[in-house]
Amino acid sequence: MKSTWNRREFLQRSSAATLAALAAGAPMASLLSGCKSVGKTDGTADTVILLWMAGGMAHTETFDPKRYTPFEKDMEGNRVLSTFKSLPTVLDGIHFSEGLQGIGSVMDKGTLIRSYVAADLGHILHSRHQYHWHTCYEPPQTVAAPHIGAWIAKELGPKNPVIPAFIDIGQRFSVGEAEELKAFHTAGFLGNEFGPFLIPDPSQGLESVRPPIGMDAKRFERRNQLYNELISQSPVGEFGSDYQKESLRRSMEQAYMLLNSPESKAFDLSNEPKESYDIYNTGRFGLGCLLARRLTEQGARFISVTTEYEPFKGFDTHENGHTRMADMKKMIDGPVAQLIKDLDKTGHLDRTLVVLASEFSRDMMVEGRPDQKVKEQVNQPDILTEEKFYGMHRHFTDGCSMLMFGGGIKRGHVYGKTADERPCKTIENPVKIDGIHQTIYHALGIAPDTQYEIEKRPFYTTPDGKGKAVLDLLG
């Protein structure tokens, strides 16, 4: 393997890679035009924090518990609706699954949605449903659909010009389905400057905003100048539209500005008081919540924090569902509750919309939904001979839980309902992804018919611009 290239070889190889990116749907002049947008109206939120429970969080094991049935050898699987006891929350009559007492204690500050219904996308693949949730568009698309964070970055711009408008924390791209995950972690046709500032590991967030060790300021400045020269000589510089070239340059200018700013200290978690740090320190997700709080205080616009999607790990509970869920609760409960408490204490929760969601739910026996079953992906026996079969192992799309806090969302509110017996599907006030997206946009003051012309047709924030905000969620 060749380890050194001369400048010409580097340009040739980088040019090939860039051309591939352009072919994948980047905004060439012939594709993106008009840029019609209705723009911003009055809103109740300025910032969004998305807490992404990657892998499929079972609603009956978290925020919508059903009848508890302890494990017994040779028990019938169909008897099991929840593998944890339910415990009361701060809201009268509302219970959460055991292990989520922390989040239950702050539900007077937010809304519980028990009726999210995921899309029917055929054979269930996590990356397809995650793409759909984050972009509101079903894959595949003829153009690269922007992530919801990119739409928000484009329409509202940064709150603080130094802090990136769209920050993504916790997802590595060196794990399974990496290319599929990358497909929706982009600004799509909106351009590079609205794409995510990626921080795979929040404990190393400071490394993302300072030059490498041993590189002084003058040398870094020369590197920045060289980069701009390379852009000019690349396919973007030669064939890209003015919009595309300016978008790329602005994205680098924003990063360069952050490196030299006092706000970069927000990325250094070692500055956090030990008592607070220890509450959040349950792993990468917990520290991601801490970093999200610190960046919100510095004027971030959209932040996503994920438990990280990696096949057969985390919430992707294809076996040992009960024990795996117990571990995941320990990871998320304290940090999520503390994030809400901290934002509320400092007054930031009033204008910060926090959303906790997952791509779909899980059930022990049903794959997909009762009236539209799909190919089963788990060998789940009818009789549970081993404890590894005790838990929610199959993908379920007909009833999912979601939490919303702050930013104009009702406090102490419950919306929607699922059946108490299997299949525990939505039976009241179903909510779909276009409704969730438009509710977020409505809170931010982004008009529902916001659109851009691409491939000579309008491209809306939700398909065909038909999404409607769920106004009953808003105070």
Residue pLDDT, tens place only, 222-236: 666 666 666 666 665
First to last CA, the chain: 60
Domains of the chain, by residue range, sit at 23-473
- Order of strands, sheet of 361-363, starting from the edge strand that comes earlier in the sequence: 361-363, 394-396, 368-369, 372-373
Whole-number percent of the chain with pLDDT over 70 = 80
**pLDDT tens for residues 280-290?**
999 999 999 99
Pair type for strands 47-52 and 361-363:
unpaired
d(CA 193, CA 26) in angstroms, rounded, equals: 12
**CATH class for the region spanning 23-473:** alpha beta
Beta bridge partners of 180: none
Where does residue 224 fall: left (phi above 0), alpha (psi -120 to 50 degrees), or beta otherwise? Answer: alpha
Identity of the residue numbered 396: F
pTM: 0.87
Q: Mean pLDDT, the chain, as a whole number? A: 87
Least confident of 136-145, 363-372, 400-409: 363-372
> At 318, which amino acid appears?
H
Q: What are the pLDDT digits (tens) for 318-367?
A: 999 999 999 999 999 999 999 999 999 999 999 999 999 999 999 999 99
Q: Where residue 4 falls among pLDDT bands split at 50, 70, 90?
A: very low
Summarize the chain as % helix, strand, coil (round to 5): 40, 15, 45
What is the 8-class DSSP label of residue 474?
B
Cα separation of 27 and 166, whole Å?
Answer: 19
Task: Return d(Cα 269, Cα 436) in angstroms, integer.
Answer: 32
Evaluate the CA torsion angle 224, 227, 229, 231 in order and state its sign: negative
